[in-house]
Chains A and B, each alone.
Chain A
């Protein structure tokens, strides 16, 4: 059984504008009722000198707080037209509700939405905010870097304070467990590089240089870079999420009250494990990349494995391998540092864990590539 729908009708009495209302003044059909009520309010010109208004709710069957809001809103509009408005109700409960709503509206006051600044200005302000945030973060990251260095140096002088069990555990998760994916990916990269090289170099009849290309590209750049990016996504993000969750659970506060240094307990083992794991993974990645290149060379260029190895031996110096390999511990440090830093930046909510994890991956990949480019440019200037 549906209740009678809400309605309103305006009437003119001598000096009074009378609104008779009835039916359900409730949320159910509020949108329609709002339109009807607003349409029933006359324009100032049509008032004809009337100075008073009356809203008669005697026949309203249901009044809820949204209906009461509409009554209050109508009264406000009539008052604004210069009419002294009174409200007549049928039931005491309705009067109580109207009073309650009036009180609430008074508490809130008249809301003026904040002025929207000019779009260009807002964009400029936004840009400024981003720059300042970035600088602030850079400063914080730098100070965290310093703090970690100090603690690493202190730990080397007191090696018994290093949490070796944690180091081993993180070695397993960041190193050992990453072997399949790192191997597969670098193998495929080797295949791709060899394939592209073969197609291009065949035009000059210089297919044999494919071996040089694979060797130099994988050993010097791709092996370490692909592995570092992969580990940043896989383990750097995990560091942030783990430490961030502990922060949300107040575990880090608990540690501090017990007298454990969270950086020593959480950050150092992760940095150490990462700095051991990533170079090892890089070596493994180099081998897999070369293997992929060799397979491709064998299949599409008819270069036998022995001639591949012989050519590789001539083409690639130890220096090429070392340049790639020695970048690994630095990349590892960047990834672990950023991962832990963002984890410790987590504040309060679970939402911020997600946001910080995303940020951690983006930043560490960014920094790893910047570092790599920096090394490449420096080496070319130094003509190494």
Chain B
């Protein structure tokens, strides 16, 4: 069987100019878990995500995703990896010149030889899975609200039935009700589709309600634990984060 770790990051160094963002960072993501990644502004949460999916070149270190070393991967391996993960960017990053259904169809057209009719049906299935109404499929991203755009982006990320889902601040900019719905949607899809989720977030409620483990980026490295372990942690930033007024409110429930 495949290894229990779907993502392994070892000794990662990221540096922009003179500023070192990650210094010898190690991180494991287990199969089937939701890993939340938190940290203060500028600690490189999004950079970490971008580095793992290959949008950002690392200075040093090794990243293995689904058993494939992303640096040494051959073209076909790299391409197969693209099929096996989906990424949801902050504001959906939908292609603005395409309708929602066409957006979802893009990865299907690119990576499969399915017929037009099947692609159409699968696109609408994904629209249904993420809880969008059917008429959203024919709309353009500019005609949707922020929350709907995120759902549409999620549908596109799920188009190829990936094993890993990367989410960059999925609840940022949503109202509390919308955010809670989105949290539930992620949890629900993660369970029914057996996904591994890498979730970058600022939202404490999301952390508490959806994640299995949490990776805190501090001092250019990361500290991983369940929320109960982190609650007992003595590091000043972690303490401040989980025991500050917002942290207390979220954790209490």
Contact = CB atoms under 8 A, between A and B. Distances in A.
Interface of A: 1, 26-28, 30-31, 34, 64-66, 69, 73, 93, 96-97, 100-101, 103-109, 111, 114, 348-349, 351
A101 B133 CA distance: 15
A69 B122 contact: yes
A111 B112 contact: no
Given A96-B192, A101-B125, A104-B125, 19 more contacts: A27-B83, A27-B112, A28-B83, A30-B112, A30-B114, A34-B114, A34-B118, A65-B158, A66-B125, A93-B194, A100-B129, A100-B188, A101-B129, A104-B129, A107-B133, A108-B127, A111-B124, A351-B97, A351-B142
A106 B126 CA distance: 12
Contact of B142 (A101, A106, A108, A349): A349
Majority SS at the chain A contact face: helix
Closest 4 CB pairs of A and B: A104-B128, A64-B161, A27-B161, A108-B128
25 contacts: A27-B83, A30-B112, A31-B113, A31-B114, A34-B114, A34-B115, A34-B118, A65-B126, A66-B125, A69-B121, A73-B121, A100-B188, A101-B125, A105-B128, A106-B128, A107-B128, A107-B131, A107-B134, A108-B134, A111-B120, A111-B134, A114-B138, A349-B96, A349-B142, A351-B142
Nearest to B95: A351
Interface of B: 2, 83, 96-97, 112-115, 118, 120-122, 124-129, 131, 133-134, 138, 142, 158, 160-161, 188, 191-194
B185 to A, nearest CB: 12
B161 A66 contact: yes
A109 B96 CA distance: 26
A26 B161 contact: yes
Contacts of B121: 69, 73, 111
Given A108-B127, A351-B97, A97 B142 contact: no
Given A97-B192, A100-B129, A107-B128, A65 B161 contact: yes
B193 A97 contact: yes
A83 B158 CA distance: 32
Contacts of B192: 65, 93, 96-97, 100
A34 B118 CA distance: 9
